[in-house]
């Protein structure tokens, strides 16, 4: 978990959504509490250095700024901390994460439109400079709220799917002894961007286009696939039962595009039964989003 600070507020960012409502509440409330703590600290410093006009003024300004920051963050403008607090409360009441996210996202959009409207009003009725920041903040919140709802839609599209549902059972293999020049020709001929590397009928690693391009083009003829491949002990494996959403998160975290799928526990005894790629997951997501489930007709 991390907290990203902006001039106009903070956003708590986590690698994945929390498992429980209370967990999200505890994460989100940390930002406003930190701002209020700093506001109280600077207020104390202002009183302590009241004999020095410059120091007291600086401390007072910082106290006021942190107080405003904390109050702004408490607004239920998802995904600001206040919006996450609001979502955790709705989640705790409804026991439905998806519903809570939609409600919090809608509230975030309302606040965003309000800020944009206020910025436009300021630009038309007062100094136009005074409307810039509210409008910019509103546009940011609107985009962030929409992104959160889009992410929810992705999660719902992948719900119930596992690696076995989208993997390709065709496992491309290649000899570790061929040159990178020959491997490049194989990629161009077949369009396959990754291969498992086999030497003497043993799986020894994996090669992909990204690893190929780590070697200068004029050295391809003098280097073999085995010299630049990803060794077997560094390959990330997926089990066929692994939930597709978790698998996609692992692919993104490792910044890789494909992963072999094995039956049983990954290791020397594991059997590679397929390959899964980001492209395959994205195609499934797109297909499921285009086909909306029909609502069964009510019986009389």
Q: How much is the pLDDT for 184?
A: 92
Inform me whether the pLDDT recorded for 104 exceeds 90.
no
118/125 Cα distance (integer angstroms): 10
Helices (H), the chain: 21-48, 53-73, 81-94, 97-125, 132-158, 163-166, 180-190, 209-212, 225-228, 244-254, 278-290
Query: How sure is the predictor about 268, in pLDDT bands with cuts at 50, 70 and 90?
Result: low
Query: Where are the domains positioned within the chain?
Result: 2-158, 164-287
* Average pLDDT of the segment spanning 84-105: 87
What pLDDT shows up at residue 265? 60
Q: Per CATH, which fold does 164-287 belong to?
A: CBS-domain (3.10.580)
| Model confidence, pTM | 0.57
């Amino acid at each position: 978990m991390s907290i990203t600070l902006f001039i106009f507020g903070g956003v708590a960012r986590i690698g994945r959504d929390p498992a429980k409502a209370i967990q999200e509440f505890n994460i989100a409330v940390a930002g406003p509490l930190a701002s209020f703590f700093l506001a109280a600290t600077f207020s104390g410093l202002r009183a302590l250095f009241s004999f020095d006009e410059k120091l007291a003024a600086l401390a007072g300004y910082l106290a006021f700024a942190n107080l405003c920051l904390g109050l702004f963050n408490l607004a239920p403008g998802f995904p600001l901390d206040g919006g996450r607090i609001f979502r955790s409360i709705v989640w705790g009441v409804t026991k439905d994460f998806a519903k809570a996210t939609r409600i919090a996202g809608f509230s975030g959009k309302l606040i965003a439109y309000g800020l944009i409207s206020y910025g436009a009003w300021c630009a038309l009725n007062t100094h136009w400079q005074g409307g810039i920041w509210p409008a910019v903040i509103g546009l940011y919140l609107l985009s962030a709220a929409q992104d959160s709802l889009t992410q929810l839609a992705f999660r719902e599209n992948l719900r119930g799917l596992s690696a076995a549902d989208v993997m390709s059972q065709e496992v491309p293999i290649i000899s570790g002894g061929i040159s990178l020049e020959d491997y490049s020709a194989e990629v161009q001929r077949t369009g396959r961007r990754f291969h498992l590397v086999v030497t003497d009928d043993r799986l020894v690693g994996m090669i992909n286009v990204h690893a190929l391009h780590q070697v200068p083009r004029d050295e391809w003829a003098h280097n073999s696939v085995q010299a630049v491949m990803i060794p077997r002990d560094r390959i990330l494996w997926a089990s066929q039962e692994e939930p597709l959403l978790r698998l996609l998160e692992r692919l993104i975290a490792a910044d890789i595009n494909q992963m072999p799928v094995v039956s049983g526990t990954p290791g020397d005894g594991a059997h590679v039964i397929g390959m899964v790629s980001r492209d395959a997951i994205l195609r499934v997501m797109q297909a499921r989003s285009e086909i909306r489930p029909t609502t069964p007709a009510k019986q009389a």
